[in-house]
Amino acid sequence: MKKILVLMPVEARHKAKLEAAGTGCSFTYSTPAAVTAEEIRSANIILGQPKADMIAASENLEWLQLESAGTDAYIVPGVLSSKTVLTNATGAYSQAVSEHAFALTLMLMKKLHLYRDEQKKAFWSDHGTVSSLSDSTVAVVGLGDIGQAYARLVKAMGAKVIGVKRRASNPPECVDELVMTQDLDSVLPRADVIMSVLPNTAATRYIYTAESFDHMKNSAIFINCGRGNAVSSEVLAQALLEGKIASAAMDVAEVEPLPADSPLWGIENLVITPHISGGFHLPATFERIVDIAAENLQAFLAGKTLRNEVDFTTGYKK
């Protein structure tokens, strides 16, 4: 009998779904804050997000199903045993994060952030011309589920979409042109909007350098809804203050929470949200995560292939 430890904030209906998928298994429910080291050590299966340093390469742990798409804390050597299978929640966050990024795109193109700032001061002023997604070129850097969902939204508004990804493939219908990550610099001068949704991997850390912003149009919009260490705070601040780009939005920061003394807070043409595009802010996201966990639990117990199995060398799903 498999011992299953559930660390997700499940309700009765979620428990029923998981237990139906894991008939004959023993279920323990806890939280990442309350779970004990012994509960983690004795579990054969964990559904949720334990603190990585509590796992300690447990030999009993056969499979860990994360509730996040990001896997960086769990692919560090020594966290998981070599025999432990790791799966993530890729696909659950595409609606929430893509819609958030889309909203930020329109906010910056229409300068709504400036009008919101002036509303607080009771100022009635005109900030001039705006731009449109129609006939704009949008570069989507990171063409996973979230990137493709965002691409569909901007393409529906008339944008030309350039997808940037690490592996060659046939472009999906939502993408007009596909470029490999190593050729990112060739895309930047053509893009009116750059939306980055890259994970945290060795290859993506600080991928946007000062030179990257030199390549961009001074009318360009840069949006980061992936991981904060894709660009340093200093480089982004410099690009905005020197007018290398027109504006930017960030839902993630190099250091989180963003320090109160960061110069980014005071930059007028930057919109900051505190890493809230994902999470469970959209209730449908958590429902999808439970569905993935239940589907994978049934498959695992039947010895079948799991959805979203992670490659430990890249941090991406296989």
Express each pLDDT in 247-281 by its tens digit. 999 999 999 999 999 999 999 999 999 999 999 99
179 and 293 belong to one structural domain: no
Q: What's the chain look like in SS3? A: CCEEEECCCCCHHHHHHHHHHCCCCEEEECCCCCCCHHHHHHCCEEECCCCHHHHCCCCCCCEEECCCCCCCCCCCECCECCCCEEECCCCCCHHHHHHHHHHHHHHHHCCHHHHHHHHHCCCCCCCCCCCCCCCCEEEEECCCHHHHHHHHHHHHCCCEEEEEECCCCCCCCCCCEEEEHHHHHHHHHHCCEEEECCCCCCCCCCCECHHHHHHCCCCCEEEECCCHHHECHHHHHHHHHCCCCCEEEECCCCCCCCCCCCHHHHCCCEEECCCCCCCCCCHHHHHHHHHHHHHHHHHHHCCCCCCCEECCCCCCEC
119 and 202 belong to one structural domain: yes
- Mean pLDDT of the region 58-65: 97
202 and 120 belong to one structural domain: yes
Going by pLDDT thresholds of 50, 70 and 90, the confidence category of residue 41 is very high
238 and 297 belong to one structural domain: no
14 and 130 belong to one structural domain: no
- Mean pLDDT of the region 299-308: 97
Number of domains in the chain: 2
Sign of the four-CA dihedral 248, 201, 165, 156: negative
69 and 113 belong to one structural domain: no
* 115 part of a folded domain: yes
* 309 part of a folded domain: no
* 315 part of a folded domain: no
114-165 pLDDT, tens digit per residue, is: 999 999 999 999 999 999 999 999 999 999 999 999 999 999 999 999 999 9
10-22 pLDDT, tens digit per residue, is: 999 999 999 999 9
Backbone angles phi, psi at 29, to 5 degrees: -115, 135
* 318 part of a folded domain: no
**What are the CA-CA distances from residue 254 to residues 74, 102, 229 (Å)?**
19, 22, 5
* 107 part of a folded domain: yes
- Is the model's pLDDT at 81 over the cut of 90? yes
* 196 part of a folded domain: yes
Alpha-carbon gap, residue 54 to 79, rounded angstroms: 8
* pLDDT of the residue at 245: 98
Q: For the whole model, what pTM was predicted?
A: 0.94
117 and 238 belong to one structural domain: yes
CATH number of 215's domain = 3.40.50.720
* 218 part of a folded domain: yes
* pLDDT of the residue at 297: 98
36 and 168 belong to one structural domain: no
Average pLDDT, the chain: 96
Alpha-carbon gap, residue 88 to 247, rounded angstroms: 33
* 267 part of a folded domain: yes
64 and 148 belong to one structural domain: no
243 and 233 belong to one structural domain: yes
Structural domain harbouring 168? 94-272
31 and 179 belong to one structural domain: no
67 and 102 belong to one structural domain: no
Q: Are 231 and 255 in contact (CB under 8 A)?
A: no
